[in-house]
């Protein structure tokens, strides 16, 4: 067990070093930009995985919460003149608040009703954002959002976020925070309760678990991190379009989680990195890219229900000769 | 008019749900494909309107059966969530495929008749009357089909008790495929009927499918009359809200209403406990 733990620690440190060194190796701005985007998607995918993978609730409004976080942060910066470092946490809190308000009625539903209710919710909020011209800029979007303000350091130095590489490290810090918080959460007793709810909600309830409280809490945390990804996205991109809150965004995040590997911490990380990179590689397919991803999604569900990470684990176990069963 | 369209789309959705227990999120995407099929039949092959409608219906019936066979059938004994995600995959395929092949531009099927009729002091276009009458005829036809024919009875039996139906020698898998085909064909008809009034574009299914889900939740999932009644109710409500309250936030108000309904009764207004 302890050698296993040490092995894991070594692997994680190597991966972290790789993540830190990556933008130093990749020198052109465009690829650095894609790496920043990957980081933002990883945060959002980890958040979706929390509610989908662990609590077993398919939230089809996840992309909408990403959009709410982005618009909340962007509007706080632009209309209220609040600096990024204040607007971001406020934006996350607003998103989480929306999560509580919408989660309490929708999470009362079970089975089929929850994805349907959240899909309807996502469509409704998208139309509000796209049509509320005076407030959100409507279909034209929001422009000229400022980048995060520089962090002052002693001796008159500062960390400024004008360059892509600085933004990359900022996003990397947020990714690490997200990974630590979510992996601690799913390993805690609460995480076990969530998994019990995923397995059989009625049974979990009969064992004395307050399933509603746990689901709402999980949903709130999930939307909080979706808002975080959105807020960082807003400040990094500088512009927001209603399309950033479209329900198709939820579908893309679902791709990251499912193809990466649902119900693992590594899965959304892998998915959030591999799929955007693959998207770049498949540029030549033009509009057919998402068609290909749709097909990949369906085939993944059928043949590799735990995605890339689940598949790799299964392969590793086979090689180790312990029989090939996950979970 | 809107109510008729919603009633047909919701009816297709609820039929599929009744048999296969899948909320088919891709229903709106298939609705959109139906509109394009008729559009090309009418404009490229200069087919008359009614022929275009029938062509779209037949093609979508076949596509519906194929979708059921290839995408959903392998997942029957798997967790429900897998079917949901497969439906999302289908949306990605159909909507982006349509966008890539046919482009984002809006298209319109020329209306069957431009005539305007005065009824009780208000005016209504002929096309709207055609939509309303066709929808009613079709809904009655589907009802009669289910209640009066052997095949319809087999479908109803399958939706009521899958194992029981299988014991009686009904091919439940085939029933699933046929129902999926019929449901999809209904969506196609709705799309073709509304196409001369609204426009055809790759994302046209999204607002309609959202409404259709609101309807079948309110009407009780799997319920025939719930879907029809709910369709007309929501259509009327949408028209009232957009003419008397706000034109901008109609969807938000109706979806908000749904959330309120679910908060009060998590299985929908007429839904059974499960």
For B195-208, what is the mean pLDDT?
86
> What pLDDT shows up at residue A67?
95
Query: Is residue B228 included in any domain, yes or no?
Result: no
* Residue B259 to residue A297, Cβ atoms within 8 A: no
Looking from the CA of A161 toward its CB, the CA atoms found within 13 Å total: 20
pLDDT, tens digit, 9 for 90 and up, residues A259-271: 998 988 899 999 9
What percent of chain B is modeled with pLDDT above 70?
Answer: 97
Query: Is residue A315 included in any domain, yes or no?
Result: no
Helix axes B27-43, B80-102, angle to 10 degrees: 30
Chain B residues whose CB is inside 8 A of the A287 CB are: 96, 99-100
Report the gap between the CA of B91 and the closest CA in chain A (Å): 8
What three-state secondary structure class fits A152? strand
When the pLDDT of each residue in chain B is averaged and rounded to a whole number, the result is 85
Question: Which one has a higher pLDDT value, A112 or B271?
Answer: A112
For B202-206, what is the mean pLDDT?
86
Query: Is residue B105 included in any domain, yes or no?
Result: yes
Query: Is residue A190 included in any domain, yes or no?
Result: yes
Nearest to A123 among B88, B206, B268 (CB): B206
Query: Is residue B258 included in any domain, yes or no?
Result: no
DSSP of A153-198? -STT-EE---SHHHHHHHHHHHHHHHHHHHHHHHHSHHHHHHHHHH
Of the ranges A129-133, A165-169, A289-293, which is most confident?
A165-169
Question: Are A60 and A48 in contact, with CB atoms under 8 Å apart?
Answer: no
Number of domains composing chain A: 1
Phi, psi angle pair for A325, to nearest 5° = -130, 125
pLDDT level of residue B262 (50, 70, 90 thresholds): confident
Across A6-20, A71-85, B51-65, least confident range:
A6-20
Residue of A nearest to B267 (CA): A109
Query: Is residue B155 included in any domain, yes or no?
Result: yes
Domain that holds residue B160: 2-202
* Residue A120 to residue B214, Cβ atoms within 8 A: yes
A235 Cβ contact list (under 8 Å, min separation 6): A73, A74, A77, A84, A88, A145, A146, A147, A148
pLDDT at A24 over 80: yes
Nearest to B81 among A56, A109, A297 (CB): A56
How many beta-carbon contacts under 8 Å exist across A and B?
129
* Residue B82 to residue A286, Cβ atoms within 8 A: no
Across A29-38, A102-111, A224-233, least confident range:
A102-111
Contacting B residues, span 208-267, partner chain A, CB-CB under 8 Å:
210, 213-214, 217, 221, 248-249, 251-252, 254-256, 258-260, 262-263, 266-267
Question: How far are the Cα atoms of A14, A18, A25, B102 from residue A10, in angstroms, in the given order?
Answer: 6, 12, 22, 51
pLDDT level of residue A86 (50, 70, 90 thresholds): very high
> What pLDDT shows up at residue B270?
66
pLDDT, tens digit, 9 for 90 and up, residues B155-199: 888 888 888 888 888 888 888 899 999 999 999 999 998 888 888
Query: Is residue A164 included in any domain, yes or no?
Result: yes
Pick among B33, B68, B252 to test the A interface (most A CBs inside 10 A): B252
Query: Is residue B129 included in any domain, yes or no?
Result: yes
For B135-157, what is the mean pLDDT?
88
**Structure-token pair, residue B106:** 């809006």
Q: Is B92 exposed, middle or buried (0-12, 13-18, 19+ CB in 10 A)?
A: buried
For B209-227, what is the mean pLDDT?
83
Tell whether B78 is within 8 A of chain A (Cβ): yes
Least Cα distance to B221 among A188, A100, A112 occurs for A112
| Spatial separation of the C-alpha atoms in residues A250 and A239, rounded to whole Å | 19
pLDDT at B33 over 50: yes
Pick among A54, A57, A112, A263 to test the B interface (most B CBs inside 10 A): A112
For A251-266, what is the mean pLDDT?
89
Give the H or E element holding residue B124.
strand B122-125
* Residue A102: alpha-carbon gap to chain centroid: 19
- What is the reported pTM? 0.86
Chain A residues whose CB is inside 8 A of the B86 CB are: 297-298, 301-302
Report the gap between the CA of B113 and the closest CA in chain A (Å): 33
Least Cα distance to A273 among A13, A50, A91, A37 occurs for A37
Query: Is residue A300 included in any domain, yes or no?
Result: no
Query: Is residue B145 included in any domain, yes or no?
Result: yes
| Spatial separation of the C-alpha atoms in residues A68 and A234, rounded to whole Å | 10
Query: Is residue B102 included in any domain, yes or no?
Result: yes
Number of domains composing chain B: 1
Domain that holds residue A118: 30-246
| Spatial separation of the C-alpha atoms in residues A261 and A274, rounded to whole Å | 12
| Spatial separation of the C-alpha atoms in residues B124 and B1, rounded to whole Å | 10
Q: Exposure string (b/e) for A177-216, b if CB count within 10 Å is 16 or more?
A: ebbeebeebbeeebbebbbbbbeebeebeeeebebeebbb
Nearest to B96 among A113, A119, A291 (CB): A291
pLDDT, tens digit, 9 for 90 and up, residues B91-110: 989 998 999 899 888 888 88
B67 Cβ contact list (under 8 Å, min separation 6): B26, B30, B90, B180, B184
Chain A residues whose CB is inside 8 A of the B102 CB are: none
Across A39-53, A281-295, B138-152, least confident range:
A281-295
Least Cα distance to A121 among A75, A66, A59, A69 occurs for A59
User: To 5 degrees, how large is the angle CA B138–CA B73–CA B91?
Assistant: 65
Q: Exposure string (b/e) for B181-210, b if CB count within 10 Å is 16 or more?
A: bbbbbbbbbbbbbbbbbbebbbebbbbbbb
Least Cα distance to B267 among A121, A107, A115, A109 occurs for A109
* Residue B266 to residue A109, Cβ atoms within 8 A: yes
Query: Is residue B253 included in any domain, yes or no?
Result: no
pLDDT at A96 over 90: yes
Neighbour count for residue A86 (Cβ, 10 Å): 14
pLDDT, tens digit, 9 for 90 and up, residues A119-139: 888 888 888 888 888 888 877
Looking from the CA of B182 toward its CB, the CA atoms found within 13 Å total: 24
pLDDT, tens digit, 9 for 90 and up, residues A56-70: 899 999 999 999 999
Tell me chain A's radius of gyration from C-alpha atoms.
Answer: 20
pLDDT at B200 over 80: yes
Contacting B residues, span 5-44, partner chain A, CB-CB under 8 Å:
17, 21, 23, 25
Question: How far are the Cα atoms of A38, A258, A287, B3 from residue A302, in angstroms, in the given order?
Answer: 26, 11, 24, 37
For B257-265, what is the mean pLDDT?
76
pLDDT level of residue A327 (50, 70, 90 thresholds): very low
Report the gap between the CA of A110 and the closest CA in chain B (Å): 8
Report the gap between the CA of A33 and the closest CA in chain B (Å): 25
Query: Is residue A229 included in any domain, yes or no?
Result: yes
Query: Is residue A319 included in any domain, yes or no?
Result: no
pLDDT, tens digit, 9 for 90 and up, residues A193-212: 999 988 888 898 888 888 99
* Residue B82 to residue A117, Cβ atoms within 8 A: no
* Residue A107: alpha-carbon gap to chain centroid: 20
Least Cα distance to A15 among A176, A164, A163 occurs for A176
Chain B residues whose CB is inside 8 A of the A106 CB are: 259, 262
**Structure-token pair, residue A164:** 């892509």
* Residue B88 to residue A254, Cβ atoms within 8 A: yes
* Residue B96 to residue A117, Cβ atoms within 8 A: no
> What pLDDT shows up at residue B182?
93
């Amino acid at each position: 067990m302890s050698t296993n733990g040490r092995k894991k620690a070594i692997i994680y440190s190597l991966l972290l070093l790789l993540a830190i060194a990556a933008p130093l190796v990749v020198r052109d701005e465009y690829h650095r930009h894609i790496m920043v985007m990957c980081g933002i998607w990883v945060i959002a995918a980890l958040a979706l995985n929390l509610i989908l993978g662990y609590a077993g609730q398919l939230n089809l409004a996840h992309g909408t919460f990403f959009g709410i976080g982005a618009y909340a942060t962007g509007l706080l910066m632009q209309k209220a003149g609040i600096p990024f470092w204040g607007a971001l946490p406020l934006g996350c809190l607003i998103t989480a608040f929306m999560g509580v308000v919408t989660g309490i009625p929708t999470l009362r539903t079970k089975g089929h009703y929850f994805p349907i209710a959240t899909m309807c919710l996502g469509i409704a909020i998208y139309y509000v954002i796209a049509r509320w011209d005076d407030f959100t800029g409507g279909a034209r979007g929001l422009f000229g959002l400022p980048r995060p303000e520089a962090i002052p350091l002693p001796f008159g130095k500062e960390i400024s976020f004008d360059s892509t590489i600085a933004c990359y490290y900022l996003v990397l810090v947020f990714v690490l925070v997200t990974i630590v918080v979510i992996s601690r959460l799913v390993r805690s007793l609460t995480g076990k309760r969530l998994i019990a709810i995923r397995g059989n909600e009625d049974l979990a309830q009969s064992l004395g678990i307050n399933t509603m409280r746990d689901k709402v809490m999980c949903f709130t945390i999930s939307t909080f991190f979706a808002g975080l990804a959105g807020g960082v996205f807003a400040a990094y991109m500088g512009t927001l379009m209603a399309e950033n809150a479209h329900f198709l965004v939820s579908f893309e995040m679902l791709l990251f989680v499912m193809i990466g590997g649902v119900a693992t911490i590594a899965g959304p990380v892998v998915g959030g990195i591999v799929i955007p990179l693959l998207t770049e590689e498949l540029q030549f397919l033009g509009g057919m890219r998402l068609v290909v991803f749709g097909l990949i999604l369906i085939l993944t569900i059928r043949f590799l229900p735990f995605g890339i990470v689940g598949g790799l684990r299964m392969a590793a176990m086979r090689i180790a000769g312990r029989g090939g069963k996950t979970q | 008019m809107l109510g008729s369209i919603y009633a047909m789309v919701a009816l297709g959705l609820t039929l599929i749900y009744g048999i296969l227990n899948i909320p088919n999120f891709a229903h709106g995407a298939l609705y959109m494909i139906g509109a394009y099929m008729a559009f090309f039949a009418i404009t490229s092959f200069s087919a008359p309107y009614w022929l275009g409608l029938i062509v779209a219906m037949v093609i979508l019936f076949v596509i519906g059966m194929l979708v059921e066979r290839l995408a959903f059938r392998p997942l029957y004994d798997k967790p429900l969530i897998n079917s949901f995600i497969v439906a999302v995959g289908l949306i990605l395929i159909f909507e982006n495929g349509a966008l890539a092949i046919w482009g984002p531009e809006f298209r319109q099927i020329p209306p069957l008749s431009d005539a305007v009729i005065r009824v009780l002091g208000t005016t209504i276009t002929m096309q709207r009357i055609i939509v309303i009458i066709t929808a009613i005829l079709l809904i009655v036809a589907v009802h009669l089909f289910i209640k009066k024919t052997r095949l319809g009875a087999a479908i109803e039996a399958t939706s009521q008790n899958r194992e029981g139906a299988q014991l009686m020698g009904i091919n439940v898998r085939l029933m699933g495929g046929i129902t999926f085909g019929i449901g999809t064909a209904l969506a196609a008809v709705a799309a073709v009927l509304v196409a001369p009034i609204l426009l055809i574009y790759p994302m046209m299914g999204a607002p309609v499918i959202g409404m259709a889900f609101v309807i079948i939740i309110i009407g009780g999932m799997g319920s025939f009359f719930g879907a029809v009644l709910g369709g007309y109710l929501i259509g009327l409500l949408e028209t009232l809200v957009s003419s008397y309250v706000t034109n901008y936030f109609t969807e938000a108000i109706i979806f908000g209403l749904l959330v309120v309904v679910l908060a009060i009764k998590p299985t929908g207004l007429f839904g059974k406990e499960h």
